[in-house]
Amino acid sequence: MLAIASLLLVLVICCLTDICKRRISNIGCFATLIICVWLAASQQLLIEGFLTGSLIFALSLVLFRFRWLAAGDGKLASALAVALPLSQLPVALMLTLICGGVLAVIYLIKYRVIQKIPRGEDLGLPYGIAISLGFYIPILAFYLGELEGASQTSLLATAVVNRL
């Protein structure tokens, strides 16, 4: 439980710096990685966790190459993925995309309607928020042991309903 609470604290700090500075620090990503390794080791998931993290890192490199994702976002997602078994990765990615869509709508309203910033002046999107939420919910659910043996559909529904 200490690791789960520590992870939440580190993710809140990462989100706040992403909102304020549009940066996710290497220290925040490293702290996230250490906590996620701790979580994975507690469930004998280190090898699978590193496989999951490696897959997300490879995907992040491609997204970074096309400038669709910032480097800090990719490092944060890769670090968080270490705490997840491969079977939970689709849920984390789906939740991240959903949170990212909601975040995009919020920032679109903020930039275009409230602040009236002209098109072309891209201020960016703090996607670390979506990544943090999208990965933390399945991590929390998995490590609290509520979702063992659940199907992917019920996994998402249970995580969202029970934790939000």
Domain parsing of the chain, residue ranges: 2-163
**Own/partner long-range contacts of 90-94 (Cβ < 8 Å, ≥24 apart):** 90/152, 91/138, 91/152, 91/155, 91/156, 91/159, 92/134, 92/135, 92/137, 92/138, 92/139, 93/134, 94/134, 94/156
Average confidence score pLDDT of the chain:
89
pLDDT score recorded for residue 144: 87
For range 106-125, the mean pLDDT: 79
CA distances from 109 to 9, 25, 44 (A): 28, 27, 44
pTM of the entire structure?
0.84
pLDDT digits (tens, 9 = 90+) for 91-111: 999 999 999 999 999 998 888
For range 52-76, the mean pLDDT: 95
pLDDT digits (tens, 9 = 90+) for 40-60: 999 999 999 999 999 999 999
Measured CA to CA, the distance from residue 82 to residue 88 in angstroms comes to 11
Is the per-residue pLDDT at 150 higher than 70?
no
Is the per-residue pLDDT at 156 higher than 70?
no
